[in-house]
Amino acid sequence: MEFEAQSLTCRRGEAIVLRDVSFRVRAGEALILRGPNGSGKTTLLRTLAGLTPAVAGKVTAPTEAMAYGAHADGLKAQLTVAENLAFWAAAFGTGPAAAARAEAAFDLAPLRNRRAADLSAGQKRRAALARLVLTDRPIWLLDEPTVSLDAENTARFAAAVQAHLASGGAALIATHIDLGLPETRLLDISTFAARGTPDRAADPFAEAVE
Ligand SMILES: Nc1ncnc2c1ncn2[C@@H]1O[C@H](COP(=O)(O)OP(=O)(O)OP(=O)(O)O)[C@@H](O)[C@H]1O
């Protein structure tokens, strides 16, 4: 599914972080977000996912088309891996077949009866990424998805993205590593940095930092 960001202004708290962000992602394509720490990659992804409304501008796809993989794993600690997947599949209305596909994509069968609380960091990440597969949503928004993954599981993740793109999906991925995906372009987010300071009237620490 193709989508476009048109002159987006994005905020984080009261601060305007990005201005005039415009780009297009075609179906079957992954756009890789690059930029230094604090440049606004997470801010843009949160805006596209609908978690923080855009201050101005437009996104041509609805938030219901987006699956957001955040920094946090978002697992329910007391539930097993299988229960987490089943919970999400029910929440997204995609059912047991989708949960099974997600489990297979990230080789989670050996861990299916383990509580999320008892998983290693990389295992938690795999379970969190499996959620993307079971959403059946056409646009994946991913924030540093390979953190904690070893080489084998990074390759597994890249294969899941590739399958998603091959089925007509699109992806926007903030990552510092080369995933070896065939159809990618880079977007340097620092070119959209908002100039000037945030609204000082709304900043309770403004006096203290002078
Ligand atoms: N809740 C918040 N309120 C105000 N400003 C925030 C908030 N969260 C983050 N920021 C600021 O917004 C700016 C953009 O942060 P963001 O997390 O989008 O950057 P990033 O490019 O994803 O960084 P990183 O590579 O370190 O993950 C930073 O200057 C950050 O300090």
CA of 43 to the centre of ligand 1 (A): 6
Query: Number of helices (H) and strands (E), helices first, in the chain?
Result: 5, 8
Residue ranges per domain, the chain?
A: 3-202
Q: Is the CB of 43 under 6 A from ligand 1?
A: yes
Give the residue-averaged pLDDT of 1-28.
95
Place of tokens 């987490």: 84
Q: Which residue has the higher pLDDT, 125 or 201?
A: 125
Of 171, 175, 161, 188, the residue nearest 61 (C-alpha): 171
Q: Is the CB of 34 under 6 A from ligand 1?
A: no
Among 16, 19, 42, name the best residue to mutate to test ligand 1's pocket (greatest count of ligand atoms within 8 A of Cβ).
42
In angstroms, the CA 103 to CA 97 distance is: 10
Percentage of the chain lying above the pLDDT 70 cut: 93
Q: If you ran DSSP here, which 8-state letter would residue 150 be given?
A: -
Q: Is the CB of 12 under 6 A from ligand 1?
A: yes
Structure tokens at 206: 């403004």
Model pTM? 0.91
pLDDT of residue 184: 87
pLDDT of residue 47: 97
Is the predicted pLDDT of residue 72 greater than 50, yes or no? yes
pLDDT of residue 196: 57
Give the residue-averaged pLDDT of 54-59.
96
Structure tokens at 142: 């991913």
Question: Residue 200: pLDDT band by 50, 70, 90 thresholds?
Answer: very low
Per the prediction, the chain carries an average pLDDT of 92
Is the predicted pLDDT of residue 58 greater than 90, yes or no? yes
Reported in sequence order, the residue ranges of the chain that DSSP labels E, i.e. its strands, are 3-12, 15-25, 30-34, 56-59, 66-69, 139-143, 170-174, 184-188
The superfamily in CATH containing domain 3-202 is P-loop containing nucleotide triphosphate hydrolases (3.40.50.300)
CA of 89 to the centre of ligand 1 (A): 31
Is the predicted pLDDT of residue 170 greater than 50, yes or no? yes
Q: If you ran DSSP here, which 8-state letter would residue 55 be given?
A: S
Is the predicted pLDDT of residue 206 greater than 60, yes or no? no
Q: Please name the helix (run of DSSP H) or strand (run of DSSP E) that holds residue 134, with its range, or none.
A: helix 121-135
Give the residue-averaged pLDDT of 124-140.
97
Give the lowest-confidence range in 79-83, 134-138, 199-203. 199-203
Q: Which residue has the higher pLDDT, 181 or 78?
A: 78
Is the predicted pLDDT of residue 210 greater than 50, yes or no? no
Atom of ligand 1 nearest to the CA of 44: 18
Q: Is the CB of 80 under 6 A from ligand 1?
A: no
Among 39, 44, 192, 195, name the best residue to mutate to test ligand 1's pocket (greatest count of ligand atoms within 8 A of Cβ).
39
Reported in sequence order, the residue ranges of 35-112 that DSSP labels E, i.e. its strands, are 56-59, 66-69
